[in-house]
Structure 1
């Protein structure tokens, strides 16, 4: 594969990763993700539980959870009137891995 083909693939990777990069680029959303990753609870956490651990307001947590959900990084499970948020194991974060691997392939050709 020539350099131009590789660059075209990387350009497409960047486009595919835009929403994920924007979502995880925010420090507040990073702290929410760390809370979700650090919990022993496999069923997910409610907004109130995330609020307690991040010291953010409920509206702020809800806002950031929506962005993370829209990016495909977290999922929500409803149980009656309760919503539980958890990391999506088939997350779009894997797109970042593809991007990095494609960049490494291109750069390997130069060194």
Structure 2
């Protein structure tokens, strides 16, 4: 693959990764992700539990959870009227891995 093709692939990776980059670029969402990483994968946490551990308001936590869900980074499991949030193991974070690997390969090949 030549330099031009690699740059096009990297550009495509950036476009595909935009939602994920925006979602994880926020410090508040990073703190929510760290809280979720401490819990069992499929068990998850409720908004109130995340609120307690992050010291954010419930509406703020709900907003940030929506952004993370829309980006495909976390999932929600319903149990009756209760919602449990957890990290999506097969998440869109793989897009970032591909982006970083392609940039790394480009830098090694052409610099």
TM-score, normalised to structure 2, is 0.97
Aligned to 2:66: 66
Shift of the 45–63 alpha-carbon distance from structure 1 to 2, 3 Å rule, reads same
Other structure's SS at 1:43 match: coil
Size of the aligned set, in residue pairs, is 111
Q: How far off is 1:109 after superposition?
A: 1.0
What is aligned with 1:75? 75
Residue 54 in 1 paired to residue 70 in 2?
no
Displacement of 1:40: 4.2
Calculate the aligned-residue CA RMSD, in Å.
Answer: 1.0
Per-residue CA deviations over 1:50-72 (Å, capped at 9, x if unaligned) read 00000000000000000000000
- Note the residue ranges of structure 1 that are not aligned, 5 or more in a row: none
Structure 2 unaligned blocks of 5 or more = none
Deviations 1:4-47 (A, max 9, x none): 00000000000000000000000000000000001247410000
The TM-score with structure 1 as length reference comes to: 0.97
2:27: which partner in 1? Answer: 27
